[in-house]
Amino acid sequence: MNKLKFTKKTIKRASLIAFSISLIGFFFLVKKHLIISYNPFAITIQICAVIIMIWARITFGMRSFHANANSTKGELVTNGPYKLFRHPIYASIIYFFLACIIAFPKIETIIGVFLIVSSTYVRMILEEISLRETYKEYNLYSQKAKRIIPFLF
C-alpha cells in the first residue's frame, strides 16, 4: 500500500483551511454565548486547559505564537508538557472546548465544538506528517508521548 505524500505547501494550505474552520466554530460559539459558563466543573477544565496552553507556549517558544506557526523550525521539543503528550497546545484547545459541551449541553454547542475539535485534529495529523519528515527521532518520540491524553491517546 502506497503512503500518500504531501508537499509542505499542501500541508500548509490544508492546515490554514482547518484553522479557518476552527475559527468558524469559535465565532459560532461566541455569538451563541456558549463558551464561558458558571459550571464549576467546566470552568476547572477550561482553567487547566489555559494553564497547559501557557506552559506549552512557553516551552515551545516564540515560534508557536501565530496560526501559521512552523513546528519544524528549530529543535524537536520533547520537554515540559511535550514530555507527556505530543500536542499540548492542540490538546488544550480540545479540552477547553469540550468543556463547553459540559456547560452547555445543546446541539448548537456540539456543532461548534465538533468544528473546532475535528479541524484541530486534522491540523495535528498534518503537523505530524511534517514532523516525521523533518525529525528522524520523531517516530521514537511518538511511541513514548501520546497525542492528546497523556499515557492513553
What does the pLDDT read at residue 4?
61
Distance from the Cα of residue 94 to its chain's centroid: 6
Q: pLDDT tier at 2 (50, 70, 90 boundaries)?
A: very low
pLDDT in tens, 53-87: 999 999 988 765 555 555 667 789 999 999 999 99
Distance CA 120, CA 113 (A): 10
In the predicted model, what is the mean pLDDT of residues 25-34? 98
Query: Could you read off the pLDDT of 83-116 as tens digits, one per residue?
Result: 999 999 999 999 999 999 999 999 999 999 999 9
Q: How far is CA 31 from CA 34, 50, 88, 114, 147, in A?
A: 8, 21, 27, 16, 30
- Looking at the predicted structure, is the pLDDT value of residue 138 above 80? yes
The pLDDT assigned to 78 comes to 94
Distance (Å, whole) CA 105 – CA 100:
8
- For residues 56 and 85, the answer to whether their CB atoms sit within 8 Å is no
Q: With a cut of 80, say whether residue 5 has pLDDT above it.
A: no
Average pLDDT, the chain: 91
The pLDDT assigned to 71 comes to 65
